[in-house]
Amino acid sequence: MAITMLTSANFKDVVANSDIPVIVDFYADWCMPCKRIAPTLEEIAKEKDGEVLVCKVDVDQSQDLAVAHQVMSIPNIISFKNGEVYKRAVGAVSKEELLDLVK
């Protein structure tokens, strides 16, 4: 499955209504570490289709979401289970670390 783009308009609906864990990557287009982990997130979205929902939030476009989730550095990856924050990772982390966010 493709990565789902989240905005202020759809964030709550997508995250709260997901029956599976959600990984949300708070990123910016100009961020080099964000670009480095993007292919890994795409791999996870394809490999774990139906098991994990992978989403992205552009912090430049949705600053309110970044503030609400206390995103101070990017990439900032937050996992949600049952609509609640579960785990968090900051920086260009490995695929294993990303997958650990939903274990």
- Token pair for 75: 């990439």
Is residue 4 within 8 A of residue 55, CB to CB? The reply is yes
55 is catalytic: no
By CB neighbour count within 10 A (0-12 exposed, 13-18 middle, 19+ buried), where does 75 fall?
buried
Which listed residue (14, 22, 31, 92) is catalytic?
31
Active-site choice (15, 34, 71, 89): 34
Q: Which residues are part of the catalytic machinery? A: 31, 34
